């Protein structure tokens, strides 16, 4: 039996060595004794959470500082679509599965809350919870076979599923079909989820849901699930070779994404108090979610926020100022922005900011090196 050539190998005297112990690097002396206990690598300061706190504080103050109904409406829509972008970012930004059918989950949530109160007089909060569960179940049933497809075939399949669900609701008399549902006006209050004298309660409810969504995204991103999803996005074959089941974890990501999307569909329905299939299952909703996330930065926690901060005010204010004559102008401008960003930085605005930061850091390092060289000379 051949002996290992490393059996009698010894480290040079006096030279410290390193070894990996429980995932942490431990320095040892020539006698094998640890020079210091192994410490796990500390995580960087949680900058995204600090930024979230700052953004939330600013958004919380804005409705009080700007007493304008139109501004409050734009702020609510911004928070809704930024959150929808975060939800879509889980399945596409982390897992790499491009979905064009998220309007289906949005519509299910909207109809669940509306039908619960319209048909049965049940609290819209209960309807919201039921809608989230239904949307999650639908995503699980539909996505499992669809995940057998890859690339643009998967994207087309999600679009087809959304269209099937849309046609179902158009023809379904129980949900008033194409006519839509006008949610009965009830006494103002949190229990009925209706506020008639001010939009401020809607602002703060949507803000709370937005903060929760960002925290969920961050939790998924930093968890084992997030690492698995990024591995799947990089290469499914390599992920399978490491023992990861791509279908299972993509399904988890889609279920989480559908759950969140449905909740904001319910919030939207209670805010508008009227829905129909052409409004909540529209392809335009899915496209807005995709566009704002791609513009802001796919896979980044702040990408959807930056994208929504540009698209939603542009869309709402052109509608407010120009009415029907301005329809489509927002998408023209937004499309031009995406083309420009894609040409220079495919990773969106977040990618531009990161590359700019790297260039500044490199210039700073090179400047320090030149000063050191001058001092030595």
DSSP 40: P
**C-alpha dihedral sign at 290, 299, 74, 102:** positive
Given a cut of 50, whether residue 84 has pLDDT beyond it is yes
Q: What ranges do the domains of the chain cover?
A: 52-282
Of residues 278 and 354, more confidence is placed in 278
Provide the 10 A C-beta neighbour count for residue 67. 10
Which residues, 6 or more positions from 288, have their beta carbon under 8 angstroms from its beta carbon?
81, 311, 315
Instruction: Give the model's confidence band at 7: pLDDT under 50 very low, under 70 low, under 90 confident, else very high.
Output: very low
**pLDDT tens per residue across span 182-238:** 999 998 999 999 999 999 999 999 999 999 999 999 999 999 999 999 999 988 899
Q: Report the percent of the chain where pLDDT is more than 90.
A: 55
35-49 as b/e: b if 16+ CB within 10 A: eeeeeeeeeeeeebe
Residue 26 in contact with residue 20, Cβ under 8 Å? yes
User: Which of 14 and 131 is assigned the larger pLDDT?
Assistant: 131
The answer to whether the CB of 361 falls within 8 A of the CB of 309 is no
pLDDT category, 343, cuts 50, 70, 90?
confident
The rounded distance, in Å, linking the Cα atoms of 162 and 104 is 5
Specify whether the backbone of 369 is left (phi greater than 0), alpha (psi in -120 to 50) or beta: alpha
Taking only the tens place, the pLDDT of each residue in 36-57 is 444 434 444 467 778 888 888 9
Is pTM beyond 0.85? Reply is no
Going by C-beta distance under 8 Å and a sequence separation of 6 or more, which residues neighbour residue 304? 81, 82, 83, 84, 85, 86, 88, 89, 292, 293, 296
Residue 20: pLDDT over 70: no
26 pLDDT band, cuts 50/70/90, is: very low
Reported as a single tens digit per residue, the pLDDT across 256-305 is 999 999 999 999 999 999 999 999 999 989 989 998 999 888 888 999 99
Question: For residue 183, which of 119, 140, 126, 240 has the smallest C-alpha distance?
Answer: 119
In tens, the pLDDT along 124-178 reads 999 999 999 999 999 999 988 888 888 888 999 999 999 999 999 999 999 999 9
Could you write out the DSSP letters of every residue in 107-151? HHHHHHHHHHHHHH---HHHHHHHHHHHHHHHHHHHHHHHTTS-T
Q: Which of 81-90, 244-253, 310-319, 323-332 has the least mean pLDDT?
A: 323-332
What are the E-state strand segments in the chain?
Answer: 17-21, 24-28, 181-182, 274-275
Q: What is the DSSP letter of 175?
A: G
- pLDDT for the residue 348: 79
3-state helix, strand, coil in the chain (%, to 5): 70, 5, 25
Rounded CA-CA distance 298/315 in Å is 21
Is the torsion defined by CA of 307, 310, 316, 322 positive or negative?
Answer: negative
Residue 310 predicted with pLDDT over 70: yes
């Amino acid at each position: 039996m051949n002996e290992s050539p490393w059996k009698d190998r010894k480290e040079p005297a006096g030279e410290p060595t390193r070894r990996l112990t429980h995932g942490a690097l431990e320095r040892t002396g020539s006698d094998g004794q640890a020079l210091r206990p192994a410490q796990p690598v500390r995580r960087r300061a949680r900058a995204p959470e600090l930024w979230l706190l700052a953004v939330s504080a600013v958004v919380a103050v804005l409705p009080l500082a700007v007493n304008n109904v139109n501004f409050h409406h734009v702020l609510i829509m911004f928070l809704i679509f930024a959150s929808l972008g975060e939800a879509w970012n889980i399945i596409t930004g982390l897992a790499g599965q491009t979905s064009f059918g998220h309007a289906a989950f949005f519509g299910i949530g909207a109809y669940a809350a509306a039908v619960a109160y319209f048909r049965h007089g049940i609290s819209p909060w209960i309807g919201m919870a039921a809608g989230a569960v239904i949307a999650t179940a639908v995503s699980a049933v539909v996505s499992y076979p669809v995940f057998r497809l890859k690339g643009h075939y998967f994207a087309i399949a999600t679009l087809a599923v959304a269209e099937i669900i849309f046609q179902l609701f158009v023809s379904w008399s129980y949900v008033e079909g194409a006519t839509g549902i006008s949610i009965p006006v009830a006494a103002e209050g949190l229990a009925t989820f209706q506020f008639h004298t001010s939009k401020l309660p809607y602002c703060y409810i949507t803000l709370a849901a937005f903060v929760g969504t960002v925290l969920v995204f961050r939790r998924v991103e930093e968890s084992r699930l997030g690492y698995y999803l990024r591995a799947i996005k990089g290469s499914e074959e390599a992920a399978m070779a490491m023992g990861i089941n791509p279908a299972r974890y993509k399904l988890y990501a889609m279920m989480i994404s559908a759950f969140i999307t449905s909740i904001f569909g319910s919030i939207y329905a209670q805010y508008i108090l009227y829905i129909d299939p052409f409004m909540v299952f529209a392809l335009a909703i899915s496209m807005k979610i995709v566009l704002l996330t791609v513009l802001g930065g796919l896979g980044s926690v702040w990408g959807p926020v930056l994208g929504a901060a540009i698209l939603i005010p542009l869309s709402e204010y052109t509608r407010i100022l120009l009415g029907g004559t301005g329809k489509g102008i927002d998408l023209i401008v937004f499309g031009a922005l995406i083309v420009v960003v894609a040409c220079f930085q495919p990773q969106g605005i977040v990618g531009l900011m990161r590359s700019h930061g790297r260039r500044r850091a490199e210039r700073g390092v090179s400047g320090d090196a030149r000063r050191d060289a001058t001092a030595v000379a």
